[in-house]
Amino acid sequence: MDLLEYQGKQLFAKHGVPTPSGIHAATVDDAVVAANEIGYPCVVKAQVAIGKRGKAGGIKIADNEAEARAHSEAILGMDIRGFTVHDLWIERASDIANEYYASVILDRGEKKLLAMLSRMGGMDVEEIAESDPTAMVKRHVEPGGSLEVEVAREIAHEAQIDDDVVDGVARMLVQLADLAVAEDATLIEVNPLIVTADREVIALDSKVTIDGNSMFRHEDLAAYPDKSAEDPQEAMAKEKGLTYVKLDGNVGILGNGAGLCMSTLDVVAQAGGDPANFLDAGGGSKAEAIVDALEVITSDEKVTAVLFNIFGGITRCDEVAKGIIEASTHVQLKVPLVVRLDGTNQEEGLRLLAEANLPNLHQEKTMLGAAARVVELANA
Amino acid sequence: MSIIVDTDTKLVVSGLTGREGTFHGLRNRDYGTELVAGVTPGKGGQDVDGVPVFDTISEAVEERGANTSMVFVPARFAAAAIDEAIASGVKTVVAITEGIPVHDMLKTYWKAREAGVRLIGPNCPGVLSPGKANVGIIPAQFFDPGPIGVVSKSGTLTYQIGNELKQAGAGNSTIVGIGGDPVVGSDFIDILTLFEEDPDTELIVMVGEIGGDAEERAAEFIAENVTKPVVGYIAGFTAPPGRQMGHAGAIISGSSGTAQAKKDALEAKGVRVGTSPTEAAQIAVQVLTS
């Protein structure tokens, strides 16, 4: 789960990480009230889970109420690289003397948390790494332990952080590492971490990813409204508990298991097709899940043909066949459906489908054959 | 020979009394795996279809000689169950459970390493040595005994490839589902090491997918340490690009984690990579018979 900037900053505040004072607003009127309360100059910031908001016009400074209103009106509802702005964060403007970069991330390869610090903040991490690889100081946190203040100070010195703020920057790095453990974060990025003209050390931005598997022990985070599923199919799939991602093409796809489903997208693309979605029906799919899946896929009007690629392990092919037959009784199959059923109870599944003799249903024996067929039908 | 599970495996299942645990535990037994015990706290003294149930894994080790544990416990209790297995004296732990918090797994990973216990998973389909033992949820009917070792992040994709191999007349020494979670007990490299040492394995099929840099690391390892032919398959070339939250991930690995980057890394080290599961299986059979 990716937190929005303001949610990350609220989490920072809970753990004592200094941030500029700010107020969340979801309407223009609330934003103006917030701006008046914070005082001017203040910053109106679009809250979307994507970078480069400033370049897109999603971050503006307001010197008075009229500007706060004008900026809020312009930014709310704005589209930033595919993300609609539903939320604003109104924040006290900061007087920036230095811009640094700090992050704590789960290093999957080493199976440890990794703390990173650079004096070259404000720019992309890739750019820092490219322009000067030594500018990024990295240190692993030993398993089971926490980042020691002394180690954090060493990192700060090595990163050539200004001497007078080494303590403050080191303290923040320790706090971020502790926060990662306490809140089950897999990524915390502060870019920029600023030093103000008054030499205060402050987290000016936040990017936080919380491990979705840990939500049961973070009720406060789980309570944040999720506005990410804006697409009607994605919202519908979410309601039905399906793993669905909308894509741009016209070939609807269902597979069982994430790996096989991804592989199905690949072979459809290789056959010259353009996948409309990723839908993993999961292991052990029952007929009901197949009905739901078919409803979601065919509700996308761009879809001109659908491929069901099932390799039954735990999933039983006869259950999938029953789901398809059941679905056809209340979802009218207006587009051709190519079905490839292989694996557990395959004969029974194929027999059921043959007996049902559904219009618009095409059976294929192999994955590659099914991919070629669905592309041909989709583009007919 | 084969790796991780074989005819010496004496299996204890944590969560044997649960619906999934019963179904798969008994299915493993039907396949020929020696299922010696189940464990469910508070249900010691009961039995599941004749298999004695204990309160702790240690009791199963002491009284029944269990040497391999399979964990079917719900996610929020699973890390504790794996920790218990690690401390009980078994040599191998196969964790099937999906959805374990990654910070829990970080701690558990190091406990397993320190104890010298082989941990497979979590969120994996398990390990099957055809004709010998099945520990997990892999449908064994799609695999015959033979010289090809398979190591994979994905369950259904493994069944797909196994089935293609079987249809082409090739069998498997062992199939290992390592799981697709960010932190798993055994990575590609760990399993490649075992296959390299296993006299019954002549060729290795490695099935990866987008995310992380385990495939890139494996490519480096193969070039230095693996003498047997390795055939790869990577899923996710057309996967929807995930929402990018910061770029710190790419910095540590030096890789974008994309399917193309993984394919390139493997091919640069001489590993042939199939464009589909079908092609990967064909290449494997072709290399084996040439």
pLDDT tens digits, residue range A130-175? 778 788 999 999 988 899 999 999 999 999 999 999 999 999 999 9
Is a pLDDT exceeding 90 seen at residue A228?
A: no
Residue among A125, A144, A275 minimizing CB distance to B251: A125
The neighbouring-strand residues paired with A254 are: A308
Provide the Cα torsion A257, A262, A264, A267; round to 10°.
-160
Mean residue pLDDT of chain A comes to 91
Q: Do B237 and A266 touch (CB under 8 A)?
A: yes
pLDDT under 70 in chain B at which residues? 240-256
Model confidence band, residue A246 (pLDDT cutoffs 50, 70, 90) = confident
- Chain A: give the shortest CA distance to residue B63, in Å: 32
Residue A283 has a pLDDT of 63
Per residue in A292-310, pLDDT (tens digit) is 898 899 999 999 999 999 9
Catalytic residue flag (residue B24): no
Taking Cα atoms as reference points, which of A80, A96, A89, A12 lies closest to residue A43? Answer: A89
Q: Do B102 and A186 touch (CB under 8 A)?
A: yes
DSSP state of B243: P
DSSP state of A109: T
- Chain A: give the shortest CA distance to residue B17, in Å: 19
Q: Which of B137, B160, B164, B279 to mutate to test the interface with A (most CBs of A within 10 A)?
A: B160
Q: What number of helices (H) and strands (E) belong to chain A?
A: 13, 19
Q: Taking CA atoms, what residue in B is nearest to A2?
A: B245
The lowest-confidence range among A128-132, A239-243, A266-270, B76-80 is A128-132
- Chain B: give the shortest CA distance to residue A247, in Å: 7
Q: Do A186 and B182 touch (CB under 8 A)?
A: yes
SS (H, E, C) B125-178: CEEEECCCEEEECCCHHHCCEEEEEEEECCHHHHHHHHHHHHHCCCCEEEEEEC
Residues of chain A with Cβ-Cβ distance to B238 below 8 Å are 247, 262, 265-266, 268-269, 275
Residues of chain A with Cβ-Cβ distance to B107 below 8 Å are 143-144
Token readout for A163 is 């001497």
Which single residue is written with the structure tokens 């409803």? A295
Counting every residue written for chain B, the total comes to 290
Model confidence band, residue A81 (pLDDT cutoffs 50, 70, 90) = confident
The neighbouring-strand residues paired with B233 are: B207, B274
Neighbouring residues of B185: CB distance < 8 A, sequence distance ≥ 6: B93, B95, B108, B109, B112, B118, B119, B120, B121, B122
CATH topology of domain B10-120: Rossmann fold (3.40.50)
- List the CATH code of the domain at B139-289: 3.40.50.261
Q: Taking CA atoms, what residue in A is nearest to B99?
A: A213
Q: Do A214 and B103 touch (CB under 8 A)?
A: yes
Neighbouring residues of B187: CB distance < 8 A, sequence distance ≥ 6: B178, B214, B217, B218
Model confidence band, residue A316 (pLDDT cutoffs 50, 70, 90) = confident
| Domain boundaries defined on chain A | 21-92, 96-222, 232-378
Angle at alpha carbon of residue B285, lines to B279 and B286, rounded to 5°: 85
A21-92 matches A232-378 in fold: no
- How far is it, in rounded angstroms, from Cα B236 to Cα B239? 5
- List the CATH code of the domain at A21-92: 3.30.1490.20
Q: Do B213 and A108 touch (CB under 8 A)?
A: yes
Which single residue is written with the structure tokens 């770029």? B247
Residue among A2, A109, A263 minimizing CB distance to B253: A109
- Largest distance between two CA atoms of chain A: 80
Helix (H, G, I), strand (E, B) or coil at A60: strand
DSSP state of B267: H
Determine which helix (DSSP H) or strand (DSSP E) holds A308, and give its type and residue range. Answer: strand A305-312
- How far is it, in rounded angstroms, from Cα A95 to Cα A82? 31
Neighbouring residues of A235: CB distance < 8 A, sequence distance ≥ 6: A229
Among candidate residues B227, B238, B247, B248, the one labeled active-site is B247
**How far are the Cα atoms of A43, A101, A198 from residue A97, in angstroms, in the given order?**
17, 14, 9
Q: Do A144 and B107 touch (CB under 8 A)?
A: yes
Whether complex ipTM tops 0.85: yes
Q: Do B243 and A265 touch (CB under 8 A)?
A: no
Residue among A187, A247, A278 minimizing CB distance to B246: A187
Is a pLDDT exceeding 60 seen at residue A248?
A: yes
Token readout for A281 is 């029906």
Q: Taking CA atoms, what residue in B is nearest to A128?
A: B251
Catalytic residue flag (residue A224): no
Q: Do A283 and B155 touch (CB under 8 A)?
A: yes
Residue among B155, B248, B278 minimizing CB distance to A103: B248
Q: Do A278 and B239 touch (CB under 8 A)?
A: yes
Class of domain A96-222: alpha beta
Residue A345 has a pLDDT of 86
**A217 phi and psi angles, rounded to 5 deg:** -110, 15
Rg (C-alpha) for chain A, rounded Å, is 26
**How far are the Cα atoms of A40, B26, B289 from residue A125, in angstroms, in the given order?**
31, 51, 48
Residue among A51, A186, A247 minimizing CB distance to B240: A247
Residue among A209, A267, A344 minimizing CB distance to B139: A344
Residue A229 has a pLDDT of 56
Q: Do A247 and B247 touch (CB under 8 A)?
A: no
The neighbouring-strand residues paired with A210 are: A185
B10-120 matches B139-289 in fold: yes
Model confidence band, residue A230 (pLDDT cutoffs 50, 70, 90) = low
- How far is it, in rounded angstroms, from Cα B183 to Cα A121? 29
Residue A91 has a pLDDT of 97
Among candidate residues A6, A100, A101, A244, the one labeled active-site is A101
CB atoms within 10 A of CB B165: 27
Residues of chain B with Cβ-Cβ distance to A256 below 8 Å are 156
Check residues B282 and A49 and name the one with the higher pLDDT.
B282
Q: Which of B103, B165, B181 to mutate to test the interface with A (most CBs of A within 10 A)?
A: B103
CATH topology of domain A232-378: Rossmann fold (3.40.50)
Q: Do B248 and A259 touch (CB under 8 A)?
A: no
Per residue in A182-203, pLDDT (tens digit) is 999 999 999 999 999 999 999 9
Contact B20, B48 (CB under 8 A): no
Its pTM stands at: 0.92
Taking Cα atoms as reference points, which of A187, A149, A202 lies closest to residue A16? Answer: A202
Residue A50 has a pLDDT of 81
The separation between CA B193 and the C-alpha centre of its own chain, rounded to angstroms, equals 14
